[in-house]
Amino acid sequence: EVQLVQSGAEVKKPGESLKISCKGSGYSFTSYWIGWVRQMPGKGLEWMGIIYPGDSDTRYSPSFQGQVTISADKSISTAYLQWSSLKASDTAMYYCARCYVVRGVILLLDYWGQGTLVTVSS
Amino acid sequence: QSVLTQPPSASGTPGQRVTISCSGSSSNIGSNTVNWYQQLPGTAPKLLIYRNNQRPSGVPDRFSGSKSGTSASLAISGLQSEDEADYYCAAWDDSLNGLVFGTGTKVTVL
């Protein structure tokens, strides 16, 4: 059974750093892209970027380029999303999802993690 | 900012048919396949329809998708109380070189 299990909720202060995780199981982790999706409180879904754990090839949405860093450790089947300096506007639910990508085009997100709630408040 | 436009809400009584539209452009829906995601209250999104009209294993056949030109639609026939959720369309956008989601539609079962 394909599963993506994300790390727990975080409460941080503005300016702090953070790294959240997404551990895949039940499939070949290095053979599928992993994507990250943001959902701000009461709002819709926004694609942030994707990574191919097999070779760490990473693509970012222009809206998130330079704002976050996506990485992966294929030895432990885990992808990461990190911030170097959080802002209050980073408060949101973050989902990871397994992506089916062909020639650089994301065709679908078929399995999703349960989400990690990040709250940034002074 | 979402480039795929959906109505903010839709509703129906149990057993009715509800349709949700998703309007895009030639750079997204017009040239790429559309997927639909269902997000039940307090849960993660779930893939509901892929490649315009295909249902993943386990999705009831009362959910159906279609695409025509730069628009797509999701239909729920035989509406049930457990269908109360937010529904999002999504497609790759060739101009933005990224995945775009619809604005989302909240379905209420009256």
The pLDDT tens digits of the residues spanning A7-47 come to 999 999 999 999 999 999 999 999 999 999 999 999 999 99
In the predicted model, is pLDDT for residue A97 greater than 70?
yes
CB contact under 8 A, A107 and B47: no
Picking from B33, B22, B21, B20, the residue whose alpha carbon sits closest to that of residue B94 is B33
Picking from B33, B38, B47, the residue whose alpha carbon sits closest to that of residue B20 is B38
Return the structure tokens found at A22.
């997404």
Label the pairing between strands B105-109 and B63-68.
Answer: unpaired
Taken as a whole, chain A contains a residue count of 122
Predicted confidence at residue B1, as pLDDT, reads 60
Looking at the partner chain, which of B43, B47, B103 has a beta carbon nearest the beta carbon of A44?
B103
What band does A74 get if pLDDT is binned at 50, 70 and 90?
Answer: very high
CA angle B101, B52, B66 (to 5 degrees): 105
In the predicted model, is pLDDT for residue B106 greater than 70?
yes
Predicted confidence at residue B72, as pLDDT, reads 98
Mean predicted lDDT score pLDDT of chain B:
96
Return the structure tokens found at B1.
């900012």
Average pLDDT estimate for B51-66: 97
In the predicted model, is pLDDT for residue A105 greater than 70?
yes
Contacts of A111 in chain B (CB under 8 A): 47
What band does A118 get if pLDDT is binned at 50, 70 and 90?
Answer: very high
Q: For B25-47, what is each residue's pLDDT tens digit?
A: 999 999 999 999 999 999 999 99
Picking from B20, B22, B4, B21, the residue whose alpha carbon sits closest to that of residue B12 is B20
Picking from B65, B39, B56, the residue whose alpha carbon sits closest to that of residue A108 is B56
Q: How many CB atoms lie within 10 A of CB A44?
A: 18
Contacts of A107 in chain B (CB under 8 A): 33, 35, 50-51, 92
In the predicted model, is pLDDT for residue B73 greater than 70?
yes
In the predicted model, is pLDDT for residue A59 greater than 80?
yes
CB contact under 8 A, B51 and A35: no
Average pLDDT estimate for B84-95: 97
Which residues make beta-bridge pairs with A56?
none
Predicted confidence at residue A109, as pLDDT, reads 96
Predicted confidence at residue A104, as pLDDT, reads 85
Percent helix, strand, coil in chain B, to 5, is 5, 50, 45
d(CA B77, CA B57): 18
CB contact under 8 A, B88 and A106: no
Predicted confidence at residue A73, as pLDDT, reads 97
CA angle B42, B47, B52 (to 5 degrees): 140
Predicted confidence at residue B97, as pLDDT, reads 93
Contacts of A113 in chain B (CB under 8 A): 44
CB contact under 8 A, A44 and B47: no
